[in-house]
Structure 1
């Protein structure tokens, strides 16, 4: 969300939600739920677990929204809550969400390339699913969610340099996985 007017509107939604406005909360849910669902699905590997974690995350958001000091930090804050919920679920199963330790997407889409249709997108998502949790998390936050390194750092609780480094290795792992499938990034 790079549009300044959209950023301002979202800050206002957060402030209204903090003041108890349920309509503002519903709009924030509508804006974030699909992306959070995808993020959780990539972390948990299970649609049903992702749905449950998403509901738990929204409950956590409603309980603690008053403690959010900067309305502009809502995106990183809500992703951090969702990530924490995923981590709890994975710990109960004996697995953990690894933390995130190049610029531009690992695979640059082209509108005039007919091969980048559903088949190529499916191959990219399948390759993404085969990556380690830390690499999936890095790629999803940066390239699918468009987060800055600083926001990613807030979400995963690691220094920005670590985030950059892990993202570099994640891009390399995705490129290698795609090349093994015969897809040139």
Structure 2
């Protein structure tokens, strides 16, 4: 079982804080240019990579305690390069693409509803007249079982029974037409 509580916030001693500022000022612009080239000009992602690289430097006490300008620059560039490579290998990157042009919205399907109506009306015609009548009155006209019973001159229980069997028969008819499984 994992602990979902947030990690305690790390503190930076004042000497390391000043060193981090110096490293950021010294290496930040060059690192940003390097990452921009790797990301083909994606400024937002490049800024994220630079920030993550500096964060990892802050978390790595070894680099901070043994600071040298060349080794720190090489370390930052390696971390940034690996972050870009990891992102480009991720499934998110493979499924998404950037574009300046938003695609047009898809047009509504004008044929689908017409075909649906044709298939349903064909399936309804395959039902017995008694089943079709109660189904149409209940689901298309919105009548209650009592209203249908009064209009058809049959008991409400018969209406409910016919409606039940009509729905089952309609389902079979639609399955035969490949609509419902």
User: With CA pairs under 8 Å and 6+ residues apart, which has the higher RCO, 1 or 2?
Assistant: 1
Q: Given the two structures, how large is their TM-score scaled by the length of structure 2?
A: 0.38
| TM-score when normalising by structure 1 | 0.37
Q: Which has the larger radius of gyration?
A: 2
